[in-house]
Amino acid sequence: MDRRPLGRSGLTVSALGLGCMGMSEFYGPSDDDASLATLEAALDAGITFFDSSDMYGWGHNETLIGRFLKGRRDKVVLATKFGVVRGPNGEWLGIDGRPDHVRAACEASLTRLGVEVIDVYYQHRVDPKTPIEDTVGAMARLVDEGKVRALGLSECAVETFQRANAVHPIAAVQSEYSLWSRDPEAGMLAAVRAAGAAFVAYSPLGRAFLTGTVSGPDALAPTDFRRNNPRFQGEALETNRKLAVALGEIAAAKGVTAAQLALAWLLNKNADVIPIPGTRRIRYIHENVAAAGITLSAQEIADLDALFPPEAVAGTRYPEAAMAALNR
């Protein structure tokens, strides 16, 4: 698989990464043995960029990846995040970007992962109570100490990114970006490019909706958070389903799956974007990796742009409370 630079960090990663969140929670029950097999299949298929967070399974995800990394650490570019604080039962306790928390969170992640250094350390959500300069200053000290190689921000505003980048180079900005979530095109992509950073696109398949395999909330596990996602409910669901069907028809005519076409759109349109689709299944690893070899013409990209204008997608990306936590 082709590789892409992670900004000016000196790190390069596979053009397609792997989001590991679903291996711990949010998308219904998971199985550690199956997840470990999927991680191994991803590495064997050429994926070298693995993305986690200390809040996924409130520590479980990092521990799982730590098990996988034994004997493989030098083959993987490892990213994890801090900032979303949860209680012992998984309850949401808020966002913490205070310098003391940055250090404590990093030490805890290093222990769970069983590594000496984290390649990319993101602030998962921006803390509105703590100046970004203070948070990134603390993150930069972790770089100076050799505990972190490069810094990132997740779901930040352009101004926040620029202020952070003035304190220490930000190697990557991560946000949701797909055919049905095109917010980054409104300014963030340009800001990231001007700074020489990379953009990491999570949920590039619209939380699987763009694959055409999700019929609606009733088909999802009781613990699947998409049941409460506005885009998967009511009239919004019906509107968005029409878009997914149209995408599937275009994909079928090209001889690829809808998922592959959605990933190919991102990869062909943006040479500096690194999608990190998540999956717990080996067969989807192979399907996604094959998407990295699909070439789209300028006209095909334009046609997909026209099919998915931002105003055509119904519903917000998250429920109201989660949307309020985004730095916009």
Cα gap 313→328, rounded to integer Å = 19
Cα gap 184→188, rounded to integer Å = 5
Cα gap 288→197, rounded to integer Å = 24
Cα gap 269→258, rounded to integer Å = 16
Closest-CA residue to 160 (of 186, 127, 183, 190): 127
Q: Among residues 56, 121, 122, 202, which one is catalytic?
A: 56
**How many other β-carbons are positioned within 10 Å of the β-carbon of residue 139?**
28
Cα gap 219→68, rounded to integer Å = 31
Q: Is 175 in contact with 201 (CB distance < 8 Å)? A: yes
- Has 177 been annotated as catalytic? no
Q: In sequence order, what are the residues at sequence separation of 6 or more whose Cβ sits closer than 8 angstroms to the Cβ of residue 67?
A: 32, 36, 114
Distance of CA 148 to the CA centre of its chain: 19
Cα gap 13→134, rounded to integer Å = 29
Q: Which residues pair with 123 in a beta bridge?
A: 82, 153
Tokens of 289: 């990796």
Reduced to 3 states (helix: H, G, I; strand: E, B; else coil), residue 72 is coil
Q: Which residues are catalytic?
A: 56
